[in-house]
Structure 1
Amino acid sequence: MNKRILGITTATFATLFLLTACSPKEEGSTETTTSTTAVQTESNETVYPLEIEVTDSEGNTHIQTFEQAPERIVTNNLSSIEILLELGLKDKIVGITQPDNEVTGEFADDVKDLDVIGDKMTVSKETIAGYTPDIVVGREMAFNDESIGSVATLNDLGIQTYIQTASSMTSNPPLTNVIDDVLALGKIFNVNERAEEYAKELETRYQTVVEKVQAQEGDETLTLLPIVAYDASKSSFAVFNISGGLQSDLLKQLNVKPAVEGSVADPSLETIINTNPDIILYVTADRNADLDANAVESIKNEPLLKEVNAVKENRIYTTTYDDFMDYGVRIFDTLEMLGDHLYGENK
């Protein structure tokens, strides 16, 4: 039987749906995708055996062979859980790692129904193997033998993997890799029609924001500082690294750049004053709930920050950790929120 090699790229998707092409990548940028071109049949059914390539955190590629659609799934992050639920695969999910925050939104009740196998920081490959999954789906960083098991180790146990291309830390994946992941998982599980419908919805959302930005952007590039756990009593906070990864492309599509490169910053008001960001994005998380309740108002009312551009121009926006720092569809919510504030009716 002939094998099929899966690789769904943004170009393939655009051709399939005849939508407006994504804005061209800047010269020298790197895009993480699976290999070659996706094979479609007239009936839109996946042809097995199916081979795909996954790339681990060390940049090594591994061929994963599927003789049929997997029946038992373990996932290691919220974004992969929600994509699988959207594709109608709830009954196949036999285990998940504990979400970082209380899950909200349309899949909150579904996630509560799923079996939590442990915390992402402590779960082991032995625990994973005990659930006898056919496939482990999730973020790149967890696929190592100190965590859920490397791709090679899991394969030796007869377990296939799918590493979200949007979670790559070895390159700077574009937001459209989320769409690629939807299509790839649709192919693996032979739910192509739903995956393509969902991918088209996401592509439309993405293009709407991109076109809005392109129609209005000027020569000025705004700067953004993501603030986490702002403590007014100590005048301290933390920042995420948004100079790389999926978040880097989110800013790029909005004609915005990080106010601080990397995640190394003095956690004091002096950093905010010296960087003078045009936008402050306050990121909430359950672990910081006590601080988050008054954080934005505290920033606005801090006398030492009154001359900071973001404060003067009232460009302090709020998002959640899952909507900004995970590797799935929720990041489109943040893209739309910021796009609307910077270029839309709320401008």
Structure 2
Amino acid sequence: MKKIISILLTAMMVVGISGCTNKDTVTTPKDGTKVEDSNKKSAHYPVTIKTYNYAKEPVELTFEKAPEKVVAVYQNSIETLLALGLKDKIIATSGLDHEVKDEYKDDFDKLKYYEKLPSKEEVIALQPDFILSWYSLFDEKRFGDVNFWHERNINTYMSQNSGVIKPNTLQNEYDDILNMGKVFDVEDKANDIVNEMKKEIQKSKDFVKGKETVKSVILEVQKNGVYRIYGEDSIGGDIAKEVGADLVAKSNGKIGNEDLVKLNPDVIFTVYYGKEIERDAAVNSILDNPALSSVSAIKSKRVNPIMLSEVYSSGIRTLDGIKTISKGLYPELYENK
């Protein structure tokens, strides 16, 4: 009898121990991925990142968990979240300059899109917990300064190259993507995106070692004979420097035909706003300008269109900007590709 009781007690203890242990176990499915128990708090949070207010002062925000209801405004904000696989987190979008990249169209088509920027009241009604956008969105005529939202437990993030800080740099774009990786606990994906950009930069750096530098200019045609320069303090200029170009127009500002002739670049990059007709006009207005006929880039027809979204608050399109500039400078590097 004592032996039977002893066996029963031992069995009950095993069952009890198993029951307690299962509450916090990590199960491993057949595919090898680990699934944390839903009652167990993620070790990733809290996460603190730096952003800014409308006075361009740094603001630290702490996220106790990943945002669940995100309003994303403007091209880079929307595409970065889609590239990180976060379509299910987005409740509203607005502000596209042109269609999203082909690989994200299916996901984007499922999202709510406001053709006209929603009002502050409309956004409040959506009950978001995170707003991702440009600096300009948070002026008083649009969404108001970030404090308004923070007081309502709605976090915000401004793209750093959207007017928040100077100079505009590649590193700022990298940091924006990496910060979103931290906020949403998808750091591996964010690192993969940034590392691909860095590899493309390095490929051009390796190619130009020991070669003569190529004189280049990045500009936007504002009207006949007037050009806005994207200098060293722009993303495009930073890319050109990083891949070994000689950026002969180094300062942001405006120049005329005579200035461009004196600079005599070997390659010109002309910025356009995303439509095919604008791309062609940006190129032809330079190639067909008789005042520029002596310029080396005109003679060799090395005038390359580059989309604004590749050189301003570029987000994941930073990779496209790197490839556009590298290919324009070193076409032989991209032969048969």
Q: 1:281-308, CA deviations, whole angstroms, 9 ceiling, x for partnerless residues?
A: 1223257x54543553453344332201
Judging changes above 3 Å, is the alpha-carbon distance between structure 1 residues 296 and 51 closer, same or farther for their aligned structure 2 residues?
Answer: closer
Please identify the structure whose Cα radius of gyration is greater: 2
Measure how far apart 1:152 and its partner are.
1.2
Q: Return the alpha-carbon distance in structure 1 between the equivalents of residues 164 and 315 of structure 2.
A: 15
Percent identity over the alignment? 27
Q: Corresponding residue for 1:133?
A: 128
Structure with the bigger percentage of helix: 2
Q: Which residue of 2 aligns with 1:328?
A: 315
Q: Distance in 1 between matches of 2:225 and 2:137?
A: 30
Superimposed CA distance per residue, residues 130-155 of structure 1 (whole angstroms, 9 cap, x where no aligned partner): 22111111223323333223221110
CA distance, structure 2, for counterparts of residue 240 and residue 46 of structure 1: 47
Aligned to 1:4: none
Letter in 2 for 1:252: K
Match of 2:249 among 259, 269, 282: 259
Aligned equivalents of 1:331, 1:202: Cα separation in 2: 7
The Cα shift of 1:221 comes to 6.4
Letter in 2 for 1:182: I
Matches for 1:146-295 after TM superposition, within 5 Å: 146-167=141-162, 169-213=164-208, 215-218=209-212, 222-228=215-221, 235-236=224-225, 238-239=227-228, 241-254=230-243, 255-257=245-247, 259=249, 261-266=251-256, 269-270=257-258, 272-286=260-274, 290=277, 292-295=279-282
1:4-63: per-residue Cα shift (whole Å, max 9, x none)?
A: xxxxxxxxxxxxxxxxxxxxxxxxxxxxxxxxxxxxxxxxx6522222221245331112
Residue 258 and residue 146 in structure 1: after superposition, are their counterparts in 2 closer, same or farther (change >3 A)? farther
Aligned-pair CA distance for 1:249: 1.5
Match of 1:106 among 68, 78, 103: 103
CA distance in 2, matches of 1:98, 1:284: 17
> One-letter code of the match for 1:94?
I
Offset of residue 99 of structure 1? 0.3
Q: Aligned Cα RMSD in Å? A: 2.9
Determine the C-alpha separation between the residues in 2 that align with 1:175 and 1:297.
29
In structure 1, the partner of 2:113 is: 116
Q: Is 1:84 matched with 2:81?
A: yes
CA contact (8 A) 2:267 2:328 kept: no
- Structure 1 residue 157: Cα displacement: 2.2
Contact 2:218 2:271 in 1 (8 A): no
The verdict on how the C-alpha distance between 1:79 and 1:145 changes in structure 2, with shifts beyond 3 A counting, is same
The 1:277–1:141 alpha-carbon spacing in structure 2 relative to 1, beyond 3 Å, is farther
Structure 1 partner of 2:66 = 69
Partners of 1:242 and 1:205 in 2: CA distance: 21
2:291 to 295, 299, 304: 304
Contact 2:160 2:172 in 1 (8 A): yes
Following superposition, which runs of at least 4 residues in structure 1 exceed 6 angstroms of deviation? none
In 1, the alpha carbon distance for the partners of 2:166 and 2:289 equals 38
CA deviation map 1:197-221 (0-9, x unaligned) = 33333332232233334x1454x56
Q: 1:154 to 1:256 in 2, by over 3 A?
A: farther
For residue 307 of structure 1, give the secondary structure of its aligned residue in structure 2.
coil
Alpha carbons 1:139, 1:327 under 8 Å: kept? no
Is the 8 Å Cα contact of residues 124 and 149 (structure 1) preserved in structure 2? no
One-letter amino acid of the counterpart of residue 227, structure 1: E
Q: 1:340 to 1:79 in 2, by over 3 A?
A: same
In 2, distance between residues paired with 1:129 and 1:245?
34
SS at match of 1:107: helix
Deviations 1:80-124 (A, max 9, x none): 21111111100111111220123343223333332223545xx54
Q: Give, in angstroms, the shift of residue 270 of structure 1.
A: 4.5
Q: Any gaps of 5 or more consecutive residues in structure 2?
A: 1-41
3-state SS of 2:167 partner: coil
Please show how residues 23-102 of structure 1 align to structure 2 within 5 Å: 47-102=44-99
Question: Measured at CA, do residues 204 and 57 of structure 1 come closer, stay the same or move farther in structure 2, by a change above 3 Å?
Answer: farther
Distance 1:143 1:240, change over 3 A: farther
- Structure 2 counterpart of 1:5: none
1:11 matched residue in structure 2: none
Q: 1:271, CA displacement in angstroms?
A: 5.0
Give me the whole-angstrom Cα distance separating, in 2, the residues matched to 1:277 and 1:334. 19
In the alignment, the residues of structure 2 paired with residue 150 and residue 243 of structure 1 have an alpha-carbon distance, to the nearest angstrom, of: 30
